[in-house]
Structures are given as structure tokens and as C-alpha cells.
Amino acid sequence: MGWLHWERFLCATDCATDPRRCVSEQLFVEMADVMAAEGWRDAGYEFVCIDDCWMAPTRDEHGRLQADPKRFPSGIRKLADYVHSRGLKLGIYSDVGNKTCAGFPGSYNHYDLDAQTFASWGVDLLKFDGCNSDTLELLAEGYRRMSLALNNTGRSIVYSCEWPFYLRPLQQPNYTEIKHYCNHWRNFFDVYDSWSSIKSILDWTALHQDSIVKIAGPGGWNDPDMLVIGNFGLSWDQAVTQMAMWAVMAAPLFMSNDLRHISPEAKWLLQNKEVIAINQDLLGKQGYQITKDKNFELWERPLSGRAYAVAVLNQQEIGGPQNFTFPLTFLGNGLACNPACTVQEVLPASRDWGVYSWVSSLSVEVNPTGTVLLKVVAL
């Protein structure tokens, strides 16, 4: 869990005219301050992550990556120390190819040196992109080599990969191998600040769940990309859907928004302890779609303590709230509510729905593009 600059701040490098939106030391210092002071760290968001465009255009005289000296005048080591002083961790970005996606120096032929550099700076996470790699063999070799190089530093550094996303147009990823080397990995396109983007990620995940759900678990996760809650493109119901479905999908929760200016509603949703508890459940199983009926989707996620998270998503984009009714025998291969269970609504509001028997049905009213997230616990 943490915060990432990319979706909201992109590759903004003009600090002279727009210092508040520029990818700079100041941005990450201010975000770390807010995360420590306003409950984000205490809710579990511990990483402050730098994405592309932090680098100088060239390596230094020793061949090492270096931060842009104007935008990061104190250097990454000092920034990491500051972030650590706030009880947080620092993430950074590089690329498996010879250039990053934005055209800055990549790590090709420098994997060991770059890993050592990141470790010497006190970095805690590396997001490793896949642009500008000439062949699939070089792509795979680069991801493997950087994984080994990070481990050889002796520092614990989370390894976030884009490996399967760049493989998929040409071949089916070997997820057993990817999980061996990476801690989480992107499968699909970048998230945008829009409902169509969230919907496309959910549709893709459901379509490919047979190949991706089983590999997820402690140490390795499918990453559907950033939370864009608190920005401009999602309605309230769509924001609830993203938070609920990312929890069901056991997704890493990396927000990309401006925490210095965020609504109380978005903050409540992103810091919701019940949803975060589902997302971070120790069993570590990813959820999946169990049925689709016209515009409704029913998803479940097995949780520890004989519990299930259940999401009812209404994909319809016209009209008003609709009711979806389903038998509780649909859940957990018929065992989630055997012989009885309690049902708790988590989102959009926290409510106790009471005790149900194994043969009961649930009727759930869901707003257009909204989701109702439930927790079902067997008795």
C-alpha cells in the first residue's frame, strides 16, 4: 500500500512555472508529510513512490543513475532519509530497456550497478517498466537479472514488474516464473482517471481469471494499477466500485492523487479500515467473478476465518438503482453460509444485515456503475 506519482502528476518537469505539480523533491516531501500527519500511514499506506522522469538525462561519470539536480537538489539518499523519518518507505522507478518510457536512461546493461545504487540510497521498492527492450528474450533476461541484482544487495526491496503486460501481445506469460522473480506485476494497460478505464480493467481481469487468480498469494500479486479515487474522472459510485473491487482482487493499493487537496469523502473511502482489512487479508487469495447476469456481476474472495468478501457490481450506465437477488449457495461452492452466516455490508456504508441460513437468498440494491461490498462469515 502506498502512493505513486504517475497517473496524477505524469512527467511534469517544469518546476519554474508550476512547482506544485512538478515531479520534484518538494512533491515527495510534501506527500510524505501529509501521509504521516493525516492518517494515511496509520491506515497502511507506507510507500511513497517515484515513477518515471526523476532522472537526469545522462548517467554520472561512474555510469550511475542520478536524479535531476534541479528538481532533486538534495539527491535521492536525502529524500529516502526524510521519507524514512516520517515512518514511511521510498519507491523508485527504472526500466528494463536502454531508455525509460519517457526517454530517460534505462537499466539495460546496468542491472547490478543500478540495484546497488538504489540500495545505497535506501530505496525500499523498485517499479521496473518494460519499454524499449529489443526482444522478448532481452525483456525476460532483464527482469530476471534485476531480481537477482536486488537480492544480491542484501537490502529488502519490493520488486514491481511490468513483465507480463509486455509479453502478452506475443505470448502467454509463465506466471510461475514471474512470481519466482517479482513481488507484483502488471498485466494490462495503465489506469486512467475514467470509468471506462476501471471497467476495462475489471472486464480484462474477469476474462483472464482462470490464468491469473491461482498464482496470486503472499509474496506475489496481480497489480491492476493505481487507485484514482480523489481525482476528477469517477463519480462517487464508481470510486466505491474501484475501492471494493481492488480489495476483492487482492490488489496492491497504490493511490495516485493529490493528498494535499482531497475531499473528506475520498479520504474516508481510501482509509476505510474494513475495506483495507479485506484487501490485506492474511489468507492472501485473490477474488474472482462467480456469475454474470445481464448487467450484474457477482464476485467473491475467500478470507481467513471462514469468511468471504462478496461484491455485487452493477455495470449498467443508465436508469436508477437495480436489485440483484442470488441464493447464498452460490458462495464458496455452497459452503460460505453452511449451515448459517452473518452478513455485513462494508461499502457503500457499514451496516449489519443479520443472520441468514444456508437456503436463504440475498437481495442487493446497487446504483448504476456502483458496487455493494459484503462480508459473509460462516457460523
- Residues belonging to the active site: 129, 190
| Helices marked H in 38-170 | 40-43, 75-85, 111-121, 136-152, 163-167
Of 276, 247, 307, whose CA–CA distance to 42 is shortest?
276
Q: Indicate the SS3 state at residue 314.
A: strand
Q: What span, in angstroms and rounded, lies between the C-alpha atoms of 155 and 2? A: 19
C-alpha cell, 49: 513512490
Burial of 323 (0-12, 13-18, 19+ CB in 10 A): exposed
First to last CA, the chain: 31
Q: How many Cβ atoms sit within 10 Å of the Cβ of residue 25?
A: 23
Cα atoms found within 13 Å of the Cα of residue 51, Cβ hemisphere only: 24
3-state secondary structure at position 52: coil
Residue 339's φ and ψ, nearest 5 degrees, are -85, -10
Q: At 331, which amino acid appears? A: L
Report angle CA 296, 299, 303 to the nearest 5 degrees.
155
Distance, CA of 101 to CA of 132 (rounded, Å): 7
Helix (H, G, I), strand (E, B) or coil at 106: coil
Residue 7 corresponds to which amino acid?
A: E
Q: Could you give the C-alpha distances from 253 to 38, 42, 205, 349, in angstroms and in order?
A: 17, 14, 16, 20
Q: Who's near 151: CB < 8 A, 6+ residues apart?
A: none
Q: What is the dihedral of CA 253, 259, 265, 267, to 10 degrees?
A: 50
Strand, helix or coil at 241?
helix
